[in-house]
Structure 1
Amino acid sequence: MMTNSDNWQLIGSFLRQKREMIDPELVGIVRSSRSRTPGLRREDVAALAQISTVWYSKIERGKAKGVSKSVLKTLADVLKLNLQEFEYLLSLSEDSESIALEPCRILSEQSQLLLEQVNPLPALMMNDYFDILGVNQAFTLFCGINLNELALDERNYIYLAITNAKWQQFLPADDEPALVEHLERMAGLMRSRWMNRRNDPIFNKRIETFKQCSAIFAKAWDTQKVQSFDHLDYQRRHAHLGLMALTKQVWWNHSELASARFNVFYPQTSDDMQRLTTLFHSHIEE
């Protein structure tokens, strides 16, 4: 179980990483070309935030407690944090976790029906652990993998990206630079869900498994990047139709105390939509 002291260590390392990423010129500081300090110095941040260097140093070392929300907001402004990153900072500073819905573990009949209704658009339902709870027939055609044939603990979006070559081709992330970029994004998305359930043993076990399986994921997780869930444009390699440009929409599904998200992939061209539709119906008729 994480303690409040652990949280302040995370806050300190998070602020340090963000400080080292800021270009001094962005905040009006001219630095000598001979300076070897990456980003801003601690005294720069303290001066911009109008707090003492000693106090800020204690915050970065995880030795400060009881830092007010207003001070954290000022530091967030100085370090150019986005809203998701500021919420992460606040969540760590609180003594207790925010109340969060439990991740859905089993797909309901109603959710499965919803998946089927959006055929021929590929769609899947996934929980906060990134476990894939269910997919429709179009998604199976899309990725070329029958997820139902995999063991339950392998039906995880991130685990597949780390271990399954066919899934990597689908992403596509079948070369190291692309895989690094994908896992960095996945680590950031996972942290955005983890921050409100830091003492969830299932969640923490998933993270440790991913870190043990992939040095790339471990490095990405340790950067404490926080990524929001956006409607994004993607390229995915359709198992039958090749590379395809798609827009992914994310819909949240809440039922009683359970939470899951519903991802639907839309082709960006009418030609690709027609190809998806034709392929889907040809397989249904077989």
Structure 2
Amino acid sequence: MTVTSPGIGPGARRDADAARRQELGAFLRSRRDRLAPEAVGLPSTGRRRAPGLRREEVAQLAGVGVTWYTWLEQGRPINVSAQVIDAVARALRLDNDEVGHLFTLAGLPAPTVVSEDEVIAASLSAILDGLDPLPAYAVSARYDLLAWNRSCATLMGDFARLPPHRRNMLWLLFVERSIRELVGGYDTETGTQCVARFRRNFAAHVGDPAWQALVDELYGRSEEFRRLWDRHDVASNSSKIKNFRHPVVGRLRLASTTLWLADQPGARLVVYNPVDSRGRDLLERLTYLTVAP
């Protein structure tokens, strides 16, 4: 006996579309509720019956009509375009996963999102390679490692072996603590300065889900980070001499130089230069070890 599938009729499709639109509305409301006006540059004026942004504020930020956005949240069958949904996503400060989810709920193909980190890494590769044998890396304001050269990998360890979401200097310092073994001379001041500089950068990203998620994870996993974060200290980046303990060549004294990337706010290039002839000799030896068969 042959059994045939009844298929999906028009009524079932209508029901599925309605359910998808309701889910879209619920998702938008949840993202709106979590954003404070101050986080998106709006004044916090007037009494609010609920936390987060008002519908008219989201519409204003996205450049769409209040009525249209209200209908979108209510799950009404209205026409949406990729450009308008993208504007709503930016207004709500959605991360890459949330943007893809929003497009799917809107019945649109999810966009191919190239992260800021990927763009920076591609543009810096040639510069970093040209700095060999000086160890150098690029890091974002959130302390995510964006790119590094061969000398840096030889000196501090190959960050490519880590999952992309764990290539973060704060995570390596306070949770995995591996950076303490790779970078010699760690002391309490080092951790204090790192958190104070990160706290200063964080001020410009209050309400950003990616930044808050990193803080929450570090806060929950590291007692030391929790203690330093609760102090609310702030500091700016400064050059200093660091001591490295390499398992092969031993101790090196290198001066760190920070170069800011004007077109990427908060991102910087860190280059290590030897402070004496011994350091230069050891860096050359590291280069030889890297290229030797």
Alignment TM class, shorter chain as reference: 0.5 to 0.7
Q: Secondary structure at the match of 2:129?
A: helix
Name the CA distance, whole Å, in 1 between partners of 2:176 and 2:273: 24
Q: Secondary structure at the match of 1:105?
A: helix
Find out whether 1:194 has 2:207 as its counterpart. Answer: no
Name the CA distance, whole Å, in 1 between partners of 2:171 and 2:258: 20
Q: Residue 148 of structure 2 aligns with which residue?
A: 135
Q: Residue 179 of structure 2 aligns with which residue?
A: 167
Residue type at the aligned position of 2:170: I
1:104 to partner: Cα distance: 3.7
1:285 to partner: Cα distance: 3.2
Find out whether 1:226 has 2:234 as its counterpart. Answer: yes
Number of equivalenced pairs: 183
Q: Residue 275 of structure 2 aligns with which residue?
A: 268
1:157 to partner: Cα distance: 0.4
Residue type at the aligned position of 1:213: R
The structure-2 alpha-carbon separation of the partners of 1:172 and 1:213, relative to structure 1 and needing over 3 Å to count, comes to farther
Name the CA distance, whole Å, in 2 between partners of 1:270 and 1:104: 38
Taking only the aligned residue pairs, the percentage that are identical comes to: 19
Name the CA distance, whole Å, in 1 between partners of 2:219 and 2:282: 38
Name the CA distance, whole Å, in 2 between partners of 1:232 and 1:2: 38
TM-align CA RMSD: 2.3
Tell me if the contact between 1:104 and 1:259 (Cα under 8 Å) persists in the aligned partners.
no
The structure-2 alpha-carbon separation of the partners of 1:104 and 1:248, relative to structure 1 and needing over 3 Å to count, comes to farther
Unaligned 5+ segments in structure 1 are 5-102
Name the CA distance, whole Å, in 2 between partners of 1:270 and 1:172: 19
Tell me if the contact between 1:2 and 1:198 (Cα under 8 Å) persists in the aligned partners.
no
Residue type at the aligned position of 2:286: L
1:258 to partner: Cα distance: 5.8
Residue type at the aligned position of 1:261: R
1:172 to partner: Cα distance: 2.7
Tell me if the contact between 1:142 and 1:239 (Cα under 8 Å) persists in the aligned partners.
no
Bigger RCO of structures 1 and 2 (CA < 8 A, at least 6 apart) = 1
Tell me if the contact between 2:144 and 2:169 (Cα under 8 Å) persists in the aligned partners.
yes
Name the CA distance, whole Å, in 2 between partners of 1:146 and 1:210: 22
Q: Residue 93 of structure 1 aligns with which residue?
A: none
Name the CA distance, whole Å, in 1 between partners of 2:202 and 2:251: 32
Find out whether 1:284 has 2:291 as its counterpart. Answer: yes
Name the CA distance, whole Å, in 2 between partners of 1:108 and 1:217: 27
The structure-2 alpha-carbon separation of the partners of 1:242 and 1:104, relative to structure 1 and needing over 3 Å to count, comes to farther
1:72-119: CA deviations, max 9, x gaps?
xxxxxxxxxxxxxxxxxxxxxxxxxxxxxxx94213433011111111
Within-5 A mapping of 1:59-208: 104-106=116-118, 107-143=120-156, 145-172=157-184, 178=187, 180-208=188-216
TM-score, normalised by the number of residues in structure 1? 0.59
Unaligned 5+ segments in structure 2 are 1-34, 39-114
1:141-183: CA deviations, max 9, x gaps?
101x221111111110010012335421122367xxx2x4322
1:134 to partner: Cα distance: 1.2
Name the CA distance, whole Å, in 2 between partners of 1:110 and 1:196: 24
Tell me if the contact between 2:121 and 2:146 (Cα under 8 Å) persists in the aligned partners.
no
Q: Residue 222 of structure 2 aligns with which residue?
A: 214
Name the CA distance, whole Å, in 1 between partners of 2:178 and 2:211: 25
1:243 to partner: Cα distance: 2.2
